[in-house]
Structure 1
Amino acid sequence: MRMIVPADRTTAAVELIESTVGTTHLVVLPGVARDPVGDLVMCDTARESADELLHGLRDMRIDQDGSIAVENIDLSMSTRADAAEVEAPGEGADAVIWEQLAEATHEESTLSFTYLSFMGLATMIAACGVVLDNAILIVGAMAVGPEFGPLAGVCTAIVQRAPRLAARSLTALLIGFLSAILATTLFSLLMDWLGLFSDSMLDAERPQTGFIWQPDPFSFVVALLAGAAGTLSLTSSKSGALVGVAISVTTVPAAANAAVALSYGEFAQMWGSIGQLLLNLLGIILAGTATLALQQRLWRTQRGRLKRRLRRG
């Protein structure tokens, strides 16, 4: 962590850092910061201790009158750092840095041109996949879709009781999917005019992609599993797992099938696809929220045990 601390709060900040289990390599450079004016304080902390330390620093309003920057260290060759890691409660992979999670979901759930572009492009790719009954295109569209960011934002907002984040995330989801479906409907009409799409292709047997507009209990089960896995990948910083989550849920393909079906007036397929979409979104939100709530409860229990042990010692 790197902090710019107002001079009148440096002593308190240093005492907090020194009293936080799992923190080491403390450096204090008085008066070197110019914008904002203050002392530069740096330290290394185990991931398990970061959330508690951040809360304490924010209670001192250092984030408002100074600054707090956090970055991961890929390699630290230090006996003291190893000892601090051992002293910290629990395992680093299990720790949730709530401030980091809130910041990440805030960025991912912000309605922007880039977000809408990815949503539209992913849905158009999926539209080609459903018409051609091509599973490779469907998987590609799932990987491109950015919808898990706002979904994670909704889960975080529910657990953290952050109504603004919830409203922003739900707005991004709603507008994102509606705009993607509208754009893909126009895209489908254009492809039909060019002779590349046809209603017979949509109505034909589609063994690879027919499941997209025919939701079943497995759709909800997979959405629950994906929601839990995706949330764990975000909280543990294992972003590689998030790619697997993205290609396991039928959100973008369902929106694409709804758009193509709408362009041809195939309302049965359209409503079936919308049902698939809503079922997947609900499953991800329920599982993601439950996973975060469980992590929060387990981590509070671990920290409580550590504090009681330290008091006894």
Structure 2
Amino acid sequence: MLHLRLIVPAHRTDEVVALFERSVGATHLAVLTGAGRDPAGDVVLCDVAREAADEVLSELRAIGIDECGAITVENIDLTLSHRADRAEKEAPGEGSDAVVWEHLVEATHEESTLSVTFLAFLTVATMLAACGVVLDNAILIVGAMAVGPEFGPLAGLCTALVRRAPRLAVRSLLALLVGFAVAMALTTLFSLFMDAAGLFHEADVEAERPNTNFIYRPDLFSFVVAFLAGIAGTLSLTSAKSGALVGVAISVTTVPAAANAAVALGYGDLGQTRGSTEQLLLNLAGIALAGTLTLLAQRLFWSRHTQFRDARRTKG
């Protein structure tokens, strides 16, 4: 369940309370009269089943509570209550299937922002992958995949396309384009420094490299894996199962492909640079397409489910 904490102007408290009382899946309603100070007003508390939360939040925003007051949403790890059990039973569908769009937009907005931290993580991940490329070390490649933060902007782009949010789309694309450009440029300089220090050798990059040569040899499987990873990653975000994101991160070769392109460019190997860049773009496209289609499918499924529920309620 989700816990909602609202600060509502006193003259609108009855309206909000009535909204919660008629909402399926809402329970544990409490009003703290005059408790709000900034902004001033009443504090309204309510627990809502996850599968009913998106509809409740949409109604609250429709009547402007986010503008005249405040709406805060928190996850509830555990609640022991017969009323809560009944509210979840009455709410349509399963909580794990529900998409809380406001939460998804907020989460992807933060993760898709081009920041110093984002650039640092992506650059370090690319440099780690560069070491894995030169050493033909699959363990380093997997570690670099896990460190890379690129799924955040990709998820932001998918959300923006489905929600028709151009600002989020531009922010996500900017993070991806600038992020990878900066990371690859710095990794090229890093590889040249490592070569000057005698730690990187061109012969190692030009060798057969049986553990890592797939990075600059894209094929149809590259797209298939990226597409499946995009589905899994999107489902993990919408169902709040963040643990699955680690598996997604180590399934696609975005960061290793960027690293291989950077190292190969430093040595003037345009063939590997081209192949690695194709691998990078193929993976990004596969994840973006899969994420967008998954969100569209979830929205369609939940819309049909809600219509079916409303029809049954009307007949009843």
TM-score range, shorter chain: over 0.9
Q: How does 1:22-171 map to 2 (within 5 A)?
A: 22-171=25-174
Matches of 1:8 and 1:219, distance apart in 2: 58
Determine the C-alpha separation between the residues in 1 that align with 2:62 and 2:13: 13
What's the offset of the Cα at 1:311? 2.1
Q: Within 5 Å, which residues of 2 pair with 1:260-271?
A: 260-271=263-274
2:303 aligned residue (295, 300, 303) = 300
Residue in structure 2 matching 1:176, options 162, 176, 179? 179
Q: Which moved more, 1:59-68 or 1:104-113?
A: 59-68
Tell me the secondary structure at the aligned position of residue 154 of structure 2. helix
Q: 209, 212, 223: which is aligned to 2:212?
A: 209
CA distance in 2: counterparts of 1:245 and 1:47, whole angstroms = 24
Q: Equivalences for 1:239-258 in 2 at 5 Å?
A: 239-258=242-261
How many Å separate the matches in 2 of 1:203 and 1:229? 34
CA deviation string 1:263-288 (max 9, x = no partner): 00000000100000000000000000
The CA RMSD over aligned residues, in Å, is 0.6
Q: Deviations over 1:138-165 (max 9, x none)?
A: 0000000000000000000000000000
Which of the residues 255, 278, 283 maps onto 1:280? 283
Cα offset for 1:305? 1.4
Normalising by structure 2, report the TM-score: 0.98
Task: For residues 71-107 of structure 1, give each alpha carbon's deviation from its aligned partner in whole angstroms, at most 9, with x where no partner exists.
Answer: 1111110001000000000000000000000000000
1:8 is displaced (CA, Å) by: 2.0
State how far apart, in whole Å, the 1-side matches of 2:244 and 2:264 are: 32
Aligned pair count? 313
Match of 2:16 in 1: 13
Whole-angstrom distance in 1 between the partners of 2:102 and 2:184: 33
| Runs of 4 or more above 6 Å deviation | none
- Partner of 2:113, secondary structure, is coil
Q: Gapped runs of 5+ residues in structure 2?
A: none
- d(CA) in 2 for partners of 1:11, 1:292: 35
Structure 1 residues 106-147: Cα deviation after superposition (integer angstroms, max 9, x where no partner): 000001000000000000000000000000000000000000
Structure 1: stretches of 5+ with no match in the other structure: none
Q: Deviations over 1:187-243 (max 9, x none)?
A: 000000000001101001101000000001100000000000000000001111000
Identity of aligned residues (%): 67
Please say if 1:186 is aligned against 2:189: yes
State yes or no: 1:219 paired with 2:191: no
